[in-house]
Amino acid sequence: MHQENKPFAFYLERLARTAESLDLTPEQRTALETPNAVIEKELSIVRDDGRKETLRAYRVQFNNARGPYKGGIRFHPGADLDEVKALAAAMAIKCAVVNVPFGGGKGGIQFDPKQYSTAEIERISRTFIREMNGTFGINKDIPAPDVYTTPQIMGYMLDEHEKMVGESEPGMITGKPIALGGSLGRDTSTAQGGVYVLEELVTMRGLDREKLRVVVQGFGNAGYHAASILHELGYRIVGLSDSKNALLDPNGLDPIAIHRSKQEHGTLASPGARTVTNEELLAADCDILIPAALDNQLTATTAPKVKASIILELANGPTSPEGDAIFEERGITVIPDVLANAGGVATSYFEWVQNRQQFYWTKEEVFERLHPLMANAFHAIWTTAKEKRTSLREAAFVLGVERITTALAARGIK
| Cα 291 from Cα 43, distance rounded (Å) | 32
Size of the site for ligand NAD (CB under 6 A): 24
Q: Does residue 128 touch ligand NAD according to CB under 6 A?
A: no
Q: Does residue 354 touch ligand NAD according to CB under 6 A?
A: no
The counts of H helices and E strands in the chain are 14, 13
Residue of closest CB approach to ligand NAD? 220
Q: Which amino acid is at 89?
A: A
If we measure between CA atoms, which residue out of 197, 194, 153, 190 comes closest to residue 173? 153
Residues 387-406 that bind ligand NAD (CB under 6 A): none
**Across-strand partners of 42?**
56
C-beta of 122 vs 242, nearer to ligand NAD: 242
At 390 the three-state DSSP class reads coil
Q: Does residue 242 touch ligand NAD according to CB under 6 A?
A: yes
| Cα 86 from Cα 90, distance rounded (Å) | 6
> Closest approach of Cβ 138 to ligand NAD, in Å?
20
**Across-strand partners of 293?**
none
The site map against ligand NAD for 261-300 (x = CB under 6 A) is -----------------x-------------xxx------
The residue within the footprint of ligand NAD, chosen from 18, 174, 192, 221 (CB under 6 A), is 221
Catalytic residues, by residue number, are 106
Q: Does residue 124 touch ligand NAD according to CB under 6 A?
A: no
The torsion angles phi and psi of 284, rounded to 5 degrees, stand at -70, 155
If we measure between CA atoms, which residue out of 223, 355, 234, 343 comes closest to residue 291? 223
The site map against ligand NAD for 190-209 (x = CB under 6 A) is x-------------------
> Closest approach of Cβ 152 to ligand NAD, in Å?
12
> Closest approach of Cβ 74 to ligand NAD, in Å?
7
**CA angle (369 as vertex; 366, 371 as ends), nearest 5:** 105
C-beta of 135 vs 190, nearer to ligand NAD: 190
Q: Does residue 316 touch ligand NAD according to CB under 6 A?
A: yes
Contacts of 155 (CB under 8 A, 6+ apart): 176, 177, 180
If we measure between CA atoms, which residue out of 292, 203, 185, 287 comes closest to residue 246? 292
**Residues contributing to the site for ligand NAD (CB under 6 A):** 145-148, 190, 217-223, 241-243, 278, 292-294, 314-316, 341, 344
